[in-house]
């Protein structure tokens, strides 16, 4: 259990919720072992700057190195560990991994990280930085980097949209807020998060915040060499978190199939929340493309999309397990509910529940659609022709719904009235 926690935290800072899903363990057990690791000063925690309810846990890799060395010496003096020199192996110029550091303003943390990665990487990686809301470079960031022999005074702040069409191998978010709003990047880069506080917010003026900038530079200087080791020893870039196990697929896809009241829009919204927003097994663009492709195929689009997503995160076996979990329990539940709802004289509570569920379907569908419209529009933003097509599709779809919905509901009403009349007779 603890080794699993260390393995996940060695790659990226995580919340308890993420660790529970990755390790498939209950929250109380995960929290207990995190507490034990904190007592040994191996793991630390910080409250999220984006959502105060979340707490990010991070691993002190230097402390791990010390403890591994102590363990070896305790077992046998000949097992004394010595740190290997961290030298990034040379690579061809066209094969150098590309790393993008992100924070909100691109005025301090990400600029410092970019400069340190360029210095420590010694040309083995290409490092860049950007922000979701760029602002001018902070003078303390310039001063702290100059003390380390790095001049960043001539650098400009950049918006992350400058990189959304470029292929990068690693995206490292240094800010909790930018992680929540991180856009999709081509090629499914590895996503790493370091929960580092904004040093500019730790005082009222530059003199008060300067110590915070020094601490930020120290933390980045500690973490970046380990990141470079990981990058240069990675043969092929992966995407986001570790692949899902079949047990996770069975649990999550069954949950979506059973709780997706509102039909396909609700199923699609729940799938996106899981595989894109929460676990980041897929990027938003790939999910949108898969959703569009499934909509063109015959049969239920949400079922086909769920099977594709399960295949994407766990392979062919995942597609089978996810498809069965998504379909079979929901069908059983529908059959059981049908026995109650379609009985000759269903109880009053059954009729009330049916009326309430029917009234909620429209609200659920509208809520799900609202969650999908934004990412769908982001997919075409920047191209006037594609934006015009997108607006046209929305208008035509809405017009078709407005024209056909009254006819469909009228037929359902007449069918229901005829059924009730036959039952009364």
**What is the pLDDT of the chain when averaged over all its residues?**
81
Query: Which entry of 88, 103, 294, 309 is annotated as an active-site residue?
Result: 103
88 part of the active site: no
* Domain ranges, ordered by start, for the chain: 2-79, 93-232, 246-380, 382-425
412 part of the active site: no
Q: What percent of the chain has pLDDT over 70?
A: 79
Mean pLDDT along residues 311-319: 89
- pLDDT of residue 84 exceeding 70, the answer is no
- pLDDT of residue 172 exceeding 90, the answer is yes
Using an 8 Å Cβ cutoff, are 15 and 48 in contact?
yes
Q: State pLDDT tens for residues 373-393.
A: 766 666 666 667 778 887 887
403 part of the active site: no
Of 221-230, 235-244, 272-281, 287-296, give the lowest mean pLDDT range. 235-244
Query: Which entry of 20, 64, 88, 175 is annotated as an active-site residue?
Result: 175
> Count of CB atoms within 10 A of residue 387's CB?
13
The pLDDT confidence band at residue 400, using thresholds 50, 70 and 90, is: confident
What is the dihedral sign for C-alpha 267, 303, 374, 104?
A: positive
Radius of gyration of the chain (CA): 26
Using an 8 Å Cβ cutoff, are 165 and 186 in contact?
yes
Please tell me the CATH code under which domain 2-79 is placed: 1.10.10.10
The pLDDT confidence band at residue 409, using thresholds 50, 70 and 90, is: low
The pLDDT confidence band at residue 241, using thresholds 50, 70 and 90, is: very low
Which H or E run includes 33?
helix 27-39
Which whole-number Å values give the CA distances from 190 to 35, 59, 187, 241, 243, in the listed order?
Answer: 28, 18, 9, 8, 12
Query: Which entry of 182, 294, 309, 403 is annotated as an active-site residue?
Result: 182
**Domain at 93-232, CATH homologous superfamily:** Response regulator (3.40.50.2300)
């Amino acid at each position: 259990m603890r080794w699993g926690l260390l393995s996940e935290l060695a790659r990226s800072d995580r919340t308890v919720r993420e660790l529970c899903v990755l390790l498939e363990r209950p929250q109380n057990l995960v929290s207990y072992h995190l507490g034990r690791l904190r007592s040994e000063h191996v793991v630390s925690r910080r409250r999220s700057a984006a959502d105060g309810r979340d707490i990010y846990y991070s691993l002190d890799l230097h402390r791990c190195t010390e403890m591994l060395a102590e363990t070896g010496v305790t077992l046998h003096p000949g097992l004394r560990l010595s740190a290997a020199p961290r030298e990034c192996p040379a690579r061809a110029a066209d094969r150098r991994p590309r790393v993008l550091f992100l924070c909100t303003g691109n005025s301090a943390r990400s600029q410092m990280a970019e400069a340190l990665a360029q210095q420590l990487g010694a040309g083995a990686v290409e490092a860049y930085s950007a922000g979701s809301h760029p602002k001018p470079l902070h003078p303390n960031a310039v001063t702290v980097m100059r003390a380390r022999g790095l001049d960043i005074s001539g650098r400009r702040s950049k918006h992350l949209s400058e990189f959304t069409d470029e292929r990068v191998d690693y995206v490292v978010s240094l800010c909790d807020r930018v992680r929540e709003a991180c856009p999709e990047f081509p090629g499914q880069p590895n996503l790493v998060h370091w929960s580092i506080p904004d040093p500019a917010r730790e005082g009222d003026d530059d003199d008060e915040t300067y110590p915070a900038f020094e601490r930020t530079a120290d933390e980045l200087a500690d973490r970046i060499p380990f990141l470079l080791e990981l990058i240069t020893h990675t043969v092929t870039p992966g995407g986001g978190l570790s692949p899902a196990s079949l047990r996770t697929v069975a649990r999550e896809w069954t949950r979506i199939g059973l709780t997706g009241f509102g039909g396909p829009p609700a199923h699609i919204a729940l799938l996106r929340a899981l595989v894109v927003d929460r676990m980041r097994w897929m990027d938003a663009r790939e999910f949108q493309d898969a959703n569009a492709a499934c909509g063109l195929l015959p049969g239920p689009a949400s079922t086909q999309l769920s099977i594709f997503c399960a295949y994407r995160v766990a392979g062919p076996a995942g597609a089978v397990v996810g498809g069965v979990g998504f379909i079979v329990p929901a069908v059983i539940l529908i059959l059981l509910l049908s026995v109650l709802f379609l009985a000759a004289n269903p109880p009053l509570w059954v009729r009330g529940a049916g009326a309430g569920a029917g009234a909620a379907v429209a609200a659920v569908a509208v809520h799900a659609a609202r969650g999908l419209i934004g990412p769908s529009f982001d997919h075409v933003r920047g191209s006037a022709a594609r934006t015009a097509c997108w607006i046209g599709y929305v208008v035509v779809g809405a017009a078709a719904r407005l024209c056909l919905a009254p006819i469909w509901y009228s037929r359902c009403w007449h069918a229901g009235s005829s059924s009730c009349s036959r039952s009364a007779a």
